[in-house]
Amino acid sequence: MTLALAILPIALAFLAGWTAKATGLLKPEHWSGIELLSFRILIPAILISSIATADLSSDRIGPLAGSLVSMVFLAAILGLSVRFLLPVDKLSSASLSTIFQTTTRWNAFISLSAAELLGGPDVLLLIAVGMSVLTPLINVSNILVLAWLCAGTTGPRRILKAVVANPLVIGCAIGLSLNAAPFDLPKPLYETLDIIGRAALGIGLLVVGAGISWRRLGRLTAPVLIGALLRPIGMPLVFLGLANVFGLSSTETLAGLLVTAVPAASNGYVVARTMGGDTELYADILVYQTLLSMAAIPIYASLVL
């Protein structure tokens, strides 16, 4: 029950975003500006600050990191493999990109909250390692797939140009460069990035909420069902198999389960909006994933606690 309450604020933030749009508190033209602000400034800021300050030393990045990276690759394969189940007339390229995003992305803030409740400092530390390893990988791979599926970009040179010019990729690159640099930025600069980046989570949740249609949610389509089940139900099962392969401890396995059983990150909605993905599908999947996570996290955690 306590864990469900930890996830409840996410659902309430969705509701607040929906209310703001439904009541006309914010006009439709205002939301596009908010989404652009998040995509070009807020999300890159949080990527820079989180990656630049992460501990990427070899003794911290061990079997858990290897299992998480493998999990992302398998999630990517599963997400794209949905094309074999649903042809183009039932699942557009934009919708396929959304299933890819909602399968590979994860809400680290929910993971950290769950870790604090279930595992304490040791699990929190391991999830922080996961964030430092997965953040660049997931963002670059998602931008690459979106450029391929949604932007009509073909050929290695054009895809590379679309990826390199993306603000999220630029944010990851700056963060990695600062992490590897032999000097530290002045503390006020990091604090500035942190202040700006913190706004990304709240605004991202509000934007997703604004995209929710209760009438559409009542029509549970195959893409919504598949997208909802892949992340909080399917990926933890995949990770349990990887935990055995990599010989993870129970603490490391719990950390991995808390990475895979949470819903997708809300910033993917903003990325989809900006790059031509299916935002309606993203919003619908995210609502169902959030509800399923309330049940999935305690169940999977009980397997290793």
Q: DSSP letters along 260-284, please?
A: HSSPPPTHHHHHHHHHT--HHHHHH
Segments in the chain below pLDDT 50:
none
- The answer to whether the CB of 206 falls within 8 A of the CB of 22 is no
**DSSP helix/strand/coil, 77:** helix
Q: What is the pTM of this model?
A: 0.81
- The answer to whether the CB of 269 falls within 8 A of the CB of 286 is yes
Q: What is the pLDDT of residues 96-110, one digit of tens each?
A: 999 999 999 998 877
Instruction: Count CB-CB contacts under 10 A for residue 74.
Output: 18
- The answer to whether the CB of 300 falls within 8 A of the CB of 239 is no
Q: What is the pLDDT of residues 166-218, one digit of tens each?
A: 887 888 889 889 988 888 888 899 899 989 988 887 888 888 888 888 888 88
d(CA 196, CA 50): 12
d(CA 271, CA 279): 9
d(CA 300, CA 241): 13
pLDDT value, residue 154: 56
- The answer to whether the CB of 167 falls within 8 A of the CB of 39 is yes
